[in-house]
Amino acid sequence: MAQIPDPSLRRCCAAVVSLLASITGVAMLTGCGSGSFVSVGTGTGGTGGSGTGGSTGAAVLSGKVLAGSIAVAGATVTLYAAGTSGNGAAARSVLTSSTVTASDGTFTLTGTLSCSSGKDQVYVVATGGSPGLPSSATNHALSLVAAIGSCSQLTGATVPSVIVNELTSVAVAYALAPFTTSATAISSSSTNAAGMANSFLNAGLLANATTGQLATLSSAQVVETAKLSTLANILHACAASDGATVCSALFTAATPSGATAPSDTFTAALDIVRHPSNNVATIYAIAPATAVFSPVLSVAPRDWTMTLSVTGGGMQYTRALALDGSGNVWVVSQPGVLSGFTPQGVALSSTGYGTGVLNGSFGVTVDSSGNVWATNFYAGGSLGSITEFNGASTSSPGTIIQHGGSNFVVDSTMDYPIGIAASKDGHLYIADYNNSTASIYLTSGTFVSGNLGVPQIAAPVAVAADGSGGFWIANNDRDSTSVTGTVTHLASDGSILANPNCCDTANGVAVDQQGNAWSANYGSGSVSEVSSSGTILIHNTTNGGLTEPAAIAVDAGNNIWVTNYYATTSAGTITELAGNGGTTTVGTGITPAYVSATQPGGYGLDAALSEPISIAPDFSGDLWVSSFGTSHLTMFFGLATPTATPLLGTPSAP
């Protein structure tokens, strides 16, 4: 058997230790509803004064606008519904008028809601006003936002209440970044309502819109609260001012390279979270000496990315992950456990699925029916097998689907299967590590062909469907003399289309919208790109802080995402590279470059990734990463372009 350079593949795990996950709700204003139109009240609405006036008609939402603990008087408050005209397009005002906060910062929104359905995602924007300023003074740079959730929550007998402040604004900026260009421009495509609703739930993982404080989560769900509060304090320095000197410093520091400077607090927060390595120390220095939100960072962060770290669900020595059509995350653990999690990181089972059946599970995929397939390196036959599970949409998620009375699908050509991918036309492609071949099955479990790719395939470890019925294999072996390796492209009938000498110990492979393959080259700490015919387009680039890359993914914006297994001796990171179709040169590093062992580059050093080994984007633009070293799942809020799941070939918009 060929040697696998990835250290985790050589570890021996004697048993699976079950980890318990406490399932908890998300602390935010959320709900669900239906109907073609939601109507509340009969009044026409109006504009309240600064404490003495008031709107007419039925109350829809009440609340308070605060800059830290300072009431903001005279702020204009408007209720919006997220749009459906494309990512970052205009939102829609859903009341006949706005209102103005009273001297104590309170407001009541009244009138007739014009939500298209109760599932429309609504949010509040407060602009301008006086945060304790002298009479008639206004902070025109103040723009604060709070996520409410489903419009149906505003139609009950009880009027919901919300706090709009810097913390709720930062939560919205992180969670909804892929859908947002300004406070009045939050929108998804018309076909991605689920992704938008999920992002609103994600905002509730960061801030509780009812209290204006940090969300309360289970012990199995951990966000970077000190970073979150620190950024809220930085916004506060501007929000609680007259909008002049402090705001100018914030806007200058938050301005992305070559872009227009923001002119309000929310847009500044959005620029910071969308360009998390830009002027990090300068932005950190803007924080006021006395914090209004806590806990806080004592030193500047490595970057401004925000993560949710998830434990439990039976995970131990996590390997590959895959997402289903509802955004649920499925991850296999090497000792033989399949774990499932909601899009907010709540375990579907405290112990996971397949324990005692699976063994040596390195690969996982979700097929077009939503069922989950895991590879068994050591179980189900003398040379391994694959196992199918019911998906989350069934009445018994995680239940093994038997084939021919067996928990395993196997044939005589299968030989220590390690990587697996599903295609949109109902095929499963499998990398057979030991005999350096590939196999094809139908998702019905029917064997199609095996012993494919001889002799070009060499110690394959990963596989990706190409969207045209074929697939790519990452070959983990290399020529010891020339120090080169390959990726192999096979057609739907198993014939070899290409086998370029492009890569050094390829550990992962992904396909972009042009049909080009991208490989993560563990041996040389690089990434390569090749065309479908095998032409080498990029040869072993090391941009963006690439160090010992273990996995690679492409989102619907053709952005390239890579896990760096060892960015330092104790932590990993993720790298972003520019892909095809944009204005940036293909292969350019978006994340910081490697400088030294203490400044390794990439994103995520604050997240304590340990041997990150798999990565995938979801329909909200979040990135999910599994860490082999700590048996964690980590979600990076809003870094990617929203991408349809499950992945069944080339990435596409939801």
Residue range 76-112, pLDDT digits in tens: 999 999 999 999 999 999 998 999 999 999 999 999 8
> Considering the chain, what is the average pLDDT of its residues?
90
Task: Look at residue 23 and tell me whether its pLDDT is greater than 70.
Answer: no
What are the C-alpha distances in Å from 521 to residues 4, 6, 320, 332?
13, 11, 17, 22
Where does 307-636 sit in CATH, by number? 2.120.10.30
Q: How confident is the model at residue 136 (pLDDT cuts 50, 70, 90)?
A: confident
Residue with structure tokens 């308070």? 64
Q: Tell me what the mean pLDDT of segment 621-643 comes to.
A: 97
386-425 pLDDT, tens digit each: 999 999 999 999 999 999 999 999 999 999 999 999 999 9
The pLDDT, as a whole number, for residue 10 is: 34
Q: How confident is the model at residue 21 (pLDDT cuts 50, 70, 90)?
A: very low
Task: Look at residue 239 and tell me whether its pLDDT is greater than 50.
Answer: yes
414-468 pLDDT, tens digit each: 999 999 999 999 999 999 999 999 999 999 999 999 999 999 999 999 999 998 9
Task: Look at residue 169 and tell me whether its pLDDT is greater than 50.
Answer: yes
The pLDDT, as a whole number, for residue 482 is: 52
Strand partners, 480: none
| CA neighbor of 148 nearest in space, from 106, 111, 178, 115 | 115
Q: Tell me what the mean pLDDT of segment 121-136 comes to.
A: 94
Compute the Cα dihedral for 157, 64, 194, 185 and give only its sign: positive
| CA neighbor of 478 nearest in space, from 510, 508, 509, 506 | 506
The pLDDT, as a whole number, for residue 583 is: 92
Q: How confident is the model at residue 18 (pLDDT cuts 50, 70, 90)?
A: very low
Secondary structure class of 306 (helix, strand, coil): coil
182-217 pLDDT, tens digit each: 999 999 999 999 999 999 999 999 999 999 999 999
Beta strands in 495-611 (DSSP E): 496-498, 501-503, 506-511, 517-521, 526-530, 536-541, 549-554, 560-564, 573-577
Least confident of 26-30, 170-174, 265-269, 633-637: 26-30
Least confident of 30-34, 70-74, 313-317: 30-34
Q: How confident is the model at residue 165 (pLDDT cuts 50, 70, 90)?
A: very high
Number of residues that make up the chain: 654
Report percent pLDDT > 70 for the chain.
90
Query: What's the rounded Cα separation, in Å, for the pair 551 and 389?
Result: 24
The pLDDT, as a whole number, for residue 15 is: 28
Task: Look at residue 14 and tell me whether its pLDDT is greater than 50.
Answer: no
445-457 pLDDT, tens digit each: 999 999 999 999 9
Task: Look at residue 34 and tell me whether its pLDDT is greater than 50.
Answer: no
Task: Look at residue 52 and tell me whether its pLDDT is greater than 70.
Answer: no
Query: What's the rounded Cα separation, in Å, for the pair 164 and 408?
Result: 53
The pLDDT, as a whole number, for residue 145 is: 98
The pLDDT, as a whole number, for residue 382 is: 86
558-598 pLDDT, tens digit each: 999 999 999 988 899 999 999 999 999 999 999 999 998 88
The pLDDT, as a whole number, for residue 189 is: 97
Task: Look at residue 221 and tell me whether its pLDDT is greater than 50.
Answer: yes
Task: Look at residue 613 and tell me whether its pLDDT is greater than 90.
Answer: yes
Task: Look at residue 241 and tell me whether its pLDDT is greater than 50.
Answer: yes
317-343 pLDDT, tens digit each: 999 999 999 999 999 999 999 999 999
Domain residue ranges of the chain, discontinuous segments joined by +: 307-636
Q: How confident is the model at residue 53 (pLDDT cuts 50, 70, 90)?
A: very low
Q: Tell me what the mean pLDDT of segment 496-518 comes to.
A: 95
Backbone conformation region of residue 5, classed left if phi is above 0, alpha if psi is from -120 to 50, else beta: alpha
Are the C-beta atoms of residues 353 and 228 closer than 8 Å to each other? no
Are the C-beta atoms of residues 572 and 564 closer than 8 Å to each other? yes
Q: Which amino acid is at 162?
A: V
Give helix 166-176 / helix 265-274 axis angle, nearest 10°: 40
